[in-house]
Amino acid sequence: MRFDLRGGNLDIGQTLQDSVRRRLHFVLSRFGFRVRRVTVTLAETRADAAASLDTRCRMIVQLAPSGKVRVEVTDTDPENALRRALDRIGPAVDREIVRARENVGRARERGSTAST
């Protein structure tokens, strides 16, 4: 699994990078070789001029042989945004893998009924 952490306009230290990598490995390791690449982007955003700064955490997981899962969370606290995104990414990847597996099964069924 390749890992890329982008800070956008936030300063991301080595400690945070290691923490995110360790937590992602824990959440996604059960999918094994299916996870090709994980990109995590943390950035400060402002909805409008009067609003306070929020932190957006976006995680994109590229799956083998194809497929992509994206989770995006916005929160006032960077740690909460990261934690919530980590809580959501595992189930989202699981749903995508199951969906892809079901689509392959349906395609095989259609292929076998078309030849008879």
Give the model's pLDDT for residue 72.
Answer: 96
Going from the N-terminus, what domains does the chain have, and what CATH number goes with each?
2-114 (3.30.160.100)
Interval 40-75: pLDDT, tens: 999 988 766 666 788 899 999 999 988 999 999 999
Which phi and psi angles does 13 have, rounded to 5°?
A: -85, 170
112 pLDDT band, cuts 50/70/90, is low
> Taking Cα atoms as reference points, which of 107, 104, 91, 27 lies closest to residue 65?
104
How far apart are alpha carbons 33 and 45 in whole angstroms? 34
Interval 77-94: pLDDT, tens: 888 999 999 999 999 999
pTM, full prediction: 0.82
Q: Are strands 2-6 and 35-45 parallel, antiparallel or unpaired?
A: parallel
2 pLDDT higher than 70: yes
